[in-house]
Structure 1
Amino acid sequence: MSGLRYNAVTHVGRVRKINEDSILALPDQGIWVVADGMGGHAAGDFASQTVVETVAALPHNLEPADRMRGLRGAIQKAHDAIQIEAERKGGVTIGAAVVALMIADGHFVAFWSGDSRLYLYRDGVIDLLTSDHSVVAELVKSGQMTWDEAEMHPHSNAITHAVGVGDAPGLEKIRGVVRPGDRFLLCSDGLNKYAGFETLRGVLESAPIETATETLLQIALDGGGKDNISVIVVDVS
């Protein structure tokens, strides 16, 4: 898809033995996905890989409206497949926090479940477009703390929705218009634990697309890298 450039990276971090994150870039279809698996070795990575593999299997020739429905449907299909695997393993909890971005015809749409995030940098301002499905997010929404403060909360990892957990994936959706110069950031919580809004804004404002993701990754690693880290930056030219 013309007018879009991106860079993407995923990293195991400094502490974990296995990367339970999976990322996907389908630039020809204007689709990018970050999936942050939970459930441990051979479970969390299964969940995140199931999400990206199901989205990657979408037909290539869909019109934008059908592609959007297909994206949502693929995440639902992954949800069902993860639940089958969880039952096969004896009813354990396996899931993935997911954020998926699609850009087409001057518009964007995003679906998310859990605490993987989508930010938009536009005209010097950074906005968090998604709202974490987490225990601490409720405290933020009620005005008791800021998002940056929530990262420090002892229960910051406790999420209330995930693909593969519960009756439905709990997907939320946001849509809007894209403008030239827009810069989207998709990430797992392994980044935003270490990079607050001002840090993210500074990098998105100054770093070229070729180095933006590696710069953000290094910030998370320098901060401790206690979790897997996934970062995708998409530029609208």
Structure 2
Amino acid sequence: MYAKPEQPLRKSSAITHTGLVRKVNEDAILSRPELDLWAISDGMGGHVAGDFASHTVVQALQLLANDLEPVDVMRKARQALYQAHNEIKAEATRRSLGTIGATAVLLALSQTKFLCLWVGDSRLYRYRDGEIEIISSDHSVVGELVEQGYLTWKEAENHPQSNQITRAVGVNDVLEIDKRRGEIRSGDRFLLCSDGLSKYANERVLLRYLSERPIETVSNDLLQFALDAGASDNVSVIVVEV
């Protein structure tokens, strides 16, 4: 029987940290280079509830089989988000917790393309040829104002509603997931992060770190940047190199 040759695993680094103020880490991260799949989820709803929500999202993705083809990874990852949505809603009802939920940003790669799925304000960036681009767009009050041209991202950072998201896994009857596909090139770097990093690191900072730091340390280096800036929230960082 002919065995399909194995492709070398893409290099990546990933880290999550409670930060300097919060007592509980409500972020959860997924790094599955064997599937070319990475994700970050940021819980909301208070300590135990937020932690449960983000880990439910990541656990649903963690249960994907190891031998999936890229097209199946992309399809089943979307199904996993819907599954997590229903589980979070059911648990909130069972425990009378009110509204709980989690953001989710997911990167899946094939040999030539990427897929980003996201809900909420955790982000995916791409570094390419000396420039950085936000692939996702925040599902937040200020994110929508930026998309409509009323604010710049720099202005949005200091807006009084900067932390108010408009979509989350586990919230509302129907889960709306946005997606973006595109081509990948050798040398691309993708950054997934929770808002514990993006609230401190602007595009100029991210460009410097993604262009200068080795893949083995860049996630830790970005975490340290957030810690040095005060890290009032949980911080999660994943960097993937093509």
Give the TM-score range, shorter chain: over 0.9
In structure 1, what residue type is equivalent to 2:72?
Answer: D
The residue number in structure 2 matching 1:76 is 82
CA distance in 1: counterparts of 2:229 and 2:211, whole angstroms: 21
Moved more, 104-113 or 183-192: 104-113
In structure 1, what residue type is equivalent to 2:168?
Answer: A
1:142 CA drift (Å): 2.3
Instruction: Give the alignment partner of residue 234 of structure 1, picking from 234, 237, 240.
Output: 240
In structure 2, what residue type is equivalent to 1:213?
Answer: S
TM-score normalised per structure 1: 0.97
Instruction: Give the alignment partner of residue 119 of structure 1, picking from 114, 117, 125.
Output: 125
Q: Which residues in structure 2 correspond to 1:46-61 (within 5 Å)?
A: 46-61=52-67
Moved more, 85-94 or 51-60: 85-94
In structure 1, what residue type is equivalent to 2:224?
Answer: Q
User: 3-state DSSP class of the match of 2:127?
Assistant: strand
In structure 1, what residue type is equivalent to 2:131?
Answer: V
TM-score normalised per structure 2: 0.95
2:49 and 2:97 in contact (8 A); partners too: no
Kindly indicate whether residue 183 of structure 2 is the aligned counterpart of residue 186 of structure 1: no
1:188 CA drift (Å): 0.2
User: 3-state DSSP class of the match of 2:48?
Assistant: coil
In structure 1, what residue type is equivalent to 2:17?
Answer: H
The residue number in structure 2 matching 1:31 is 37
1:43 and 1:94 in contact (8 A); partners too: yes
Structure 2 residues not aligned, in runs of 5+ = 1-6
Deviations 1:87-142 (A, max 9, x none): 01215111001000001121110100000000000000000000000000122122
1:22 and 1:49 in contact (8 A); partners too: yes
In structure 2, what residue type is equivalent to 1:178?
Answer: I
In structure 1, what residue type is equivalent to 2:34?
Answer: D
CA distance in 2: counterparts of 1:123 and 1:3, whole angstroms: 22
Kindly indicate whether residue 22 of structure 2 is the aligned counterpart of residue 16 of structure 1: yes
List structure 1 segments (4+ residues) > 6 angstroms apart after TM superposition: none
Alignment: residue pair count:
236
Deviations 1:38-57 (A, max 9, x none): 01111100000001111010
* RMSD of equivalent CA atoms: 1.0
Kindly indicate whether residue 160 of structure 2 is the aligned counterpart of residue 154 of structure 1: yes
CA distance in 2: counterparts of 1:3 and 1:105, whole angstroms: 11
In structure 1, what residue type is equivalent to 2:32?
Answer: L
